[in-house]
Amino acid sequence: MTHMSSEVTPQWRRRFYLTIGSVVMMQVTSSTIYMMLPLFFSSVGVGKSENGLLISIGTFAGIISGLIAGVMSNRFGRKKILVLSALIYSSTFFMLVFMGHDFASLIFSRFIAGIGFYMMPVMVTTMAADIFPIRERGRAMALYGSSGGIGALMGPLITPYMVFGNDYTWYFVFSGSSVLLSAIAMIFLVRETLPEEIKVKARATQGKKVDVRGFLRSVKGLGMVVAIFLVAILLYRTGYTMIDPFLSLYLKEVLQLDINSVSYIYALRALCTIIFSQAAGWMTDKYGRKTMLMVGLGMTVITTFSYTITTSFFQMLFLRAWDAAANASLLTAIRTLMADLLSPEMRAFGMGLHSAITQQSSTVGSLFSGYVIDAFGYNMTFYTATALCVVSLILVMIWIPEPGKAKGKAVAAQPSPTVY
């Protein structure tokens, strides 16, 4: 047993690194979903509007699973929920092999995939907050972001060689098998981080109650700040996820790029994410959460608008590298700020709430963009995304202070609990 109120021991650092390593293959497969699934759905006769619906079903399921994971992890532990996440997510790739490709089957598999996958980010970020004190938390969140970059680098480079014409069988088999191996690795490598006092409290309530009042008390001192912060996230994520689900189709239909060129574009963004994430974590800890939020949002505004004037493969490579830097700054700052605002008792529930809001915005963005593209074309999607990100940036500039400077006592000042 070790106490992490002030210093994190080398042993616990290694355990966190092993946790990050165990989820890399989940990141590899998820990184290819926006790239491969729209093409797969199109190959089986699904239109753009229905394509957006299928993508949004997965993120909608994440709204449910993120909250459930946050609540149940206080009772059953972070590790068990993390392993369950990998097992459920793995099964959905095999569903796409052995089930039919009618629209109902595709909706079902996407819903289950969302249930499984979106438990994982809640657990990993909660475990990071369990282990690391506030002064190191930005770098810990950035390390998780880097694992997403590693996955996003490997996925687009590997998967084109597993697709033969319109046959995606080997891609699904590889994805399902690799995530299953991740689940096995979690069983042996990941250690539980749930503080004992929280476990005792959860057992006393027998898992029948969610201490919503406790969650509200933990952010009450910040007044309207948290609500506005979550609205800003909602707007940014809605705009950003209007683009991602259809980018591979845009590259194919408008820029006339083949699948190998598309994979290089996705892989470059992933490589840049790995490079920029650790710098973003260091700057978040040094210069503050709000500063990095504003930098990331400003860069994202430039990104979304620049899609309207990008006309070549090399321009798109530069734009995706820029987007990677923006995304690394944003996600690190958002996750760290949210963890800072929460008491240890409500940390998992709060991260689950954050995940639910993020996935809700992704659902709206994915669903809405399909109809916008069909009715007005791709550029209208880019303009709408830019406008939403501008509003988000204005909200952050005016309303969001650093956690320690908000009205009332910041719960982030509380020490981290004892961890097993």
The predicted pLDDT at position 211 comes to 57
Per-residue pLDDT band at 204 (split at 50, 70, 90): low
In the 3-class helix/strand/coil scheme, how is 76-107 assigned residue by residue? HCHHHHHHHHHHHHHHHHHHHHHCCCCHHHHH
Least confident of 6-10, 78-82, 202-206, 349-353: 202-206
CA 392 vs CA 235, 237, 238, 396: distances in Å: 6, 9, 10, 6
Q: What percent of the chain has pLDDT over 90?
A: 53
The predicted pLDDT at position 409 comes to 39
Structure tokens at 153: 């680098």
pLDDT of 15 strictly over 90: yes
The predicted pLDDT at position 186 comes to 97
The predicted pLDDT at position 222 comes to 44
| Average pLDDT value over all residues in the chain | 86
Structure tokens at 226: 């948290």
Cα angle 241-244-245, degrees, rounded to a multiple of 5: 95
339 close to 347: Cβ distance less than 8 angstroms: yes
pLDDT of 220 strictly over 60: no
Cα angle 64-23-76, degrees, rounded to a multiple of 5: 50
Q: Tell me what the mean pLDDT of segment 359-364 comes to.
A: 75
Q: What is the pTM of this model?
A: 0.80
For the beta carbon of residue 14, count every other beta carbon within 10 angstroms. 11
The predicted pLDDT at position 17 comes to 95
Distance of alpha carbon 417 from alpha carbon 420, whole angstroms: 10
Q: Which one has a higher pLDDT value, 196 or 180? A: 180
Distance of alpha carbon 359 from alpha carbon 63, whole angstroms: 5
What is the distance, to the nearest Å, from the Cα of residue 226 to the centroid of all Cα atoms in its chain? 19
pLDDT of 140 strictly over 90: yes
CA 243 vs CA 237, 249, 406: distances in Å: 10, 10, 33
> CB under 8 Å to 169, separation ≥6 — which residues?
97
Q: Tell me what the mean pLDDT of segment 370-374 comes to.
A: 87
CATH fit for domain 2-413, picks 1.10.150.20, 1.10.287.130, 3.40.1380.20, 1.20.1250.20:
1.20.1250.20
pLDDT of 292 strictly over 70: yes
Q: Tell me what the mean pLDDT of segment 66-76 comes to.
A: 87
pLDDT of 298 strictly over 90: yes
pLDDT of 216 strictly over 70: no
Cα angle 275-256-322, degrees, rounded to a multiple of 5: 20
CA 49 vs CA 23, 181, 383: distances in Å: 31, 34, 19
The predicted pLDDT at position 412 comes to 39
The predicted pLDDT at position 217 comes to 58
Structure tokens at 184: 């096995």
239 close to 386: Cβ distance less than 8 angstroms: yes
Least confident of 112-126, 313-327, 394-408: 394-408
Per-residue pLDDT band at 36 (split at 50, 70, 90): confident
Tracing tokens 């490598």 back to the chain, one arrives at 189
- Per-residue burial over 334-372, b = 16 or more CB atoms within 10 Å of its CB, e = otherwise: bbbbbbbbbbbbbbbbbbbbbbbbbbbbbbbbbbbbbeb
Least confident of 86-95, 99-108, 139-148, 394-403: 394-403
pLDDT of 158 strictly over 50: yes
